[in-house]
Structure 1
């Protein structure tokens, strides 16, 4: 694979740059690096499904504050995973100096 080739989607992995759950402006947790994107997105989907069910319970049942807080943390984790995946997908392929100059001249 040359420097300008993009890796196959199945080869893409999380980069682990995205934090979540803060304590006094310091991230307590972050997404782990090196997880295949498909697996990371599947996990985020599972977390969001659980959060959805918990919010439904919290909305219709009295005394379910714990459900709301659990849903809050599950959505924070899900968002971090999806944001980390988006960072991987938004990265541009590396160009050589010659290729960059050629694209400026065209």
Structure 2
């Protein structure tokens, strides 16, 4: 029987590795570390909702540069949060020493 140290989904938190909004090829902001994934995804959903509203306004309004710019920043933040969550979910579970050692039958 194999045993892995996998936390429950409710215990998973952002790792804070994902940058967004660059200034002269240097990340100006990063996703914060330690935010529960459900909360992070809820925030990303809210950011995308507002970005969608702004793009709709931009489609119908004259002089809508400010709408497009704001939507750009909201989508950049949303993408960074989702990418950070994906990095957490893609991590491999930690294996015990017995599992990593070659078996005698191989």
TM-score over 0.5 for the pair: yes
Matched, 1:46 2:49: no
User: Normalising by structure 1, what TM-score?
Assistant: 0.91
Note the C-alpha offset of 1:102: 5.2
Aligned counterparts, 1:21-60, within 5 A: 21-60=21-60
Count of aligned positions: 103
- RMSD, matched Cα: 1.6
Cα deviations by residue, 1:45-95 (Å, 9 ceiling, x for unpaired): 000000000000001111111000000000000000000000000001111
Please give the alpha-carbon distance, in whole angstroms, between the structure 1 residues aligned to 2:101 and 2:62. Answer: 64
Please give the alpha-carbon distance, in whole angstroms, between the structure 2 residues aligned to 1:56 and 1:66. Answer: 13
Please give the alpha-carbon distance, in whole angstroms, between the structure 2 residues aligned to 1:63 and 1:54. Answer: 13
Aligned counterparts, 1:4-83, within 5 A: 4-83=4-83
**More off after superposition, 74-83 vs 59-68:** 59-68
Unaligned runs of 5+ in 1: none
Displaced runs of 4+ in structure 1, greater than 3 A? none
Please give the alpha-carbon distance, in whole angstroms, between the structure 2 residues aligned to 1:18 and 1:10. Answer: 21
User: Normalising by structure 2, what TM-score?
Assistant: 0.91
